[in-house]
Amino acid sequence: MRVVVAGGAGFLGSHLCDALIVRGDRVVCVDNYLTGRSANVDHLLDHESFEVLEADICNGVEVDGPVDAVMNLASPASPKDYYRLPIETLDVGSIGTRNLLELARARDARFFMASTSEVYGDPSIHPQTEEYWGNVNPIGLRSMYDEAKRFSEALTFAYHRRHGVAIRVVRIFNTYGPRMQPDDGRVVSNFITQALRGEALTIYGDGSQTRSFCYVEDEVRGFLALLDSGQSGPINIGNPGEFTMLELADLVNELTGNTAGIVFEPLPSDDPKQRKPDISLAEDLLGWSPVIDLRTGLERTIASFVAVLGV
């Protein structure tokens, strides 16, 4: 296939580009480098099946030649970025998503929407199934990201129902791995960066809140399973292993040999207390489940951070 990957120079997008190239697809990587980095795809620039289009999808997307699939991973995705870019985050989830849907519609291509577990908000059911409608504060401090993704899902399904666009919607749970930015504000990158610098790890709240962490290789494999399926979704793709922030901090300190300990800060507004995917649909409909455990994934991620930080 020839696949347009919007946000292809980002953390997840660049790994997706790699996986598509490896399996023999041609890739058009679209990015405006607002939060993506050219270094993430530099290794692909000389590949005959890879091309880069520097563009802002909010201004429209023009791609010459055939397009078989459009995969939308374009959005600020870390708290640091979407707090800094609230309007841009809402724009890319609305205007940008519609422009990509129009591209898919015009080319009769599959449309893949990368949504998020943040659509569940601070969930009142646990684990979270795709049928759960969520508990989101629409005007909260992090609503720009939550509501942008919820609108993107609604728009995607509207194009499916009104125009017959073939859609795939994935809800991504916390993902980690190489190419995360050390200062992006996500808990895994925060902990690893602090630990490698010999600093105490900062936990917000009392550390009892939980997350489920999926290694990027598993996550991307789930994306492709959904893309190739006949399922519209939404489908949760994440690792159902659940860890408290204290457990994660202790493991990062152990793997890095950091002895500086832990410090506690107040919990941010609207921070979910629990997050764990029910992946029954992914297992049953896609034959997908994660295989890389947290310890193994963290070891690989820490090694990549050592190289980036030079420590």
Q: Which residues are identified as catalytic?
A: 145
Structure tokens at 79: 């708290």
Q: State whether residue 290 is helix, strand or coil.
A: coil
Q: Are strands 262-265 and 214-215 parallel, antiparallel or unpaired?
A: unpaired
Instruction: Say which residue the tokens 């992914």 belong to.
Output: 282
Rounded CA gap, 28 and 44, in Å?
11
Q: How far apart are CA 130 and CA 5, in angstroms?
A: 24
Contact indicator for 19, 220 with CB cutoff of 8 Å: yes
Which tokens sit at 209?
């809140």
What are the DSSP calls for 104-159, one per residue?
HHHHT-EEEEEEEGGGGBS-SSSSBPTT---B--TTSTTHHHHHHHHHHHHHHHHH
Rounded Cα gap, residues 25 and 89, in angstroms: 29
Q: Which residues pair with 214 in a beta bridge?
A: 175
Q: Which residue has the tokens 């890879």?
A: 50
In whole angstroms, give the CA distance from residue 14 to residue 17: 5
- Token couple for 161: 């129902």
Q: Is residue 47 within 8 Å of residue 115, measured between CB atoms?
A: no
Element (H, E) at 33: none
